[in-house]
Structures are given as structure tokens and as C-alpha cells.
Structure 1
Amino acid sequence: MGNEQMAEFFTKKLSDAKIHFERALDCKHTEFDDLYPYMIEHPQFFWYKRYVAWSELLTVVKLCEELSIPWAEQFTPAQTEYIGKRVMSSTVLDCWYETNDSKETVG
């Protein structure tokens, strides 16, 4: 796999991880729901689902950094800062979208 192909591959994986995290934030269906359908009934499910999606996002970002593949342009400056801190805090959960008006619709 050439450098250009690898960059395209990881850019796609990064986009997928971002969408997965945003769908988890919005309490929308993700692959995680299919893996653990019995968990939907438990109150901690949505917290855990978000944690898994956040971990996936951080992992892909880390790989991009190690491979010198730019990743920050897919995120707002605030989101880039949250990712840099690596902690999924209440600020990340509450402020991932800068305002409700700028919130993207996740398909």
C-alpha cells in the first residue's frame, strides 16, 4: 500500500470514527447496538456506547499522528482540543457541537 493509499484509507477510517462518535452522542443507532442488543435496556448503555466510540476515535487519531497523516482538518478547533486532551469529559459530551444551530445531521 503506497503512502497516498494509506493516507486515503486512514482519512476514511477517521471520518467513519467521527460519524460513529457523533451518532453515539446523538443516541442514534450504531454497530455497537447490533453487537449488544440486550444492553439497550440498561441505563449505563449509552455512556458505555459513547466511551467505545470515543476510544475508537482516539485510536484512529493516534494512528494518523504516528503515520504523519493530517487529521485535524476534519474537526473544529474546539473538537481538536478535546481530542488532544483525550478525556471524554462532560464538556466533550455537551459541547462537541459548538451550537445547536451548527450541529450536523448524521446520516
Structure 2
Amino acid sequence: MAIANREFFESKLSDAKIHFERALDCKHTEFDDLYPYMIEHPQFFWYKRYVAWSELLTVVKLCEELGIEWRHQFTDKQAEYVSNRVMSSRVLDEWYETNDTKEHVG
């Protein structure tokens, strides 16, 4: 695969990871702009996280199909969560491995 394509997908993977982490941290994402009326609903943050998780899984699946390594952008535990493909409360609670090492998105 051409280097430009690999860089493109690595960039998209990074963007998807940041999008998920922003949703996880309840920060502004494109989803807020697409559905501003949803902010008033209690399920909003669940939907927002689900959309970001789905995007992340889609980009990872494309990387795998194209033979592009994706795990290096994640901790081992995060890569395991992504490989398992199920967004559970554990993923939401433990994405950042400990309170001391949280690297929240700015």
C-alpha cells in the first residue's frame, strides 16, 4: 500500500480515537452540531459515545482489511477493548487505565 494511503488511515484512526475520547469526556464533538436538540435528552451522551465508538471500530476494521497496524495508537488494554468490539461499562470506566495516567483530550 502506498505510504500516503497508510498515513491517511493512520490519521483517520487518530481522529476517530480523539473523537471517542472527547465523547467519553463529555466534550464537544461533531455529533453535538449534527443533533443540537439531543443535548436536552438523558440518552444523549450514550448515543454520542456509541456513534464515536462505531466510528472507531469502522476505521480499525478498514485498517485491518488493508493490513495497516493500528494497535500502536492505543494502550494494550484499549487495543483489547477495541478488538473485542463491545462498548461496555468497563470500556467507559477503564478506557483511561488509572486516574494518575489519564490523558484526556484537550
Q: Same fold (TM over 0.5)?
A: yes
Q: What is the alpha-carbon distance in structure 1 between the residues aligned to residue 47 and residue 60 of structure 2?
A: 20
Q: CA RMSD in A?
A: 0.8
* Matching residue's letter, 2:65: E
Aligned-residue identity in percent? 79
Structure 2, unpaired ranges of 5+: none
Paired position in structure 2 for 1:79: 78
Aligned to 2:22: 23
Which residue pairs with 2:7 in the alignment? 8
Number of the residue aligned with 2:42: 43
* SS in structure 2 at match of 1:29: coil
So what's the TM-score if we normalise by structure 2?
Answer: 0.98
Number of equivalences: 106
**What amino acid does structure 2 have at the position aligned with 1:14?**
L
Structure 1 consecutive aligned stretches of length 4 or more whose deviation exceeds 3 Å: none
Alpha-carbon distance in structure 2 between the residues aligned to 1:71 and 1:106: 19
Gaps of 5+ in 1: none
Deviations 1:39-97 (A, max 9, x none): 00000000000000000000000000000001000000000000010000011000000
> TM-score, normalised to structure 1's length?
0.97
SS in 2 for 1:98: coil
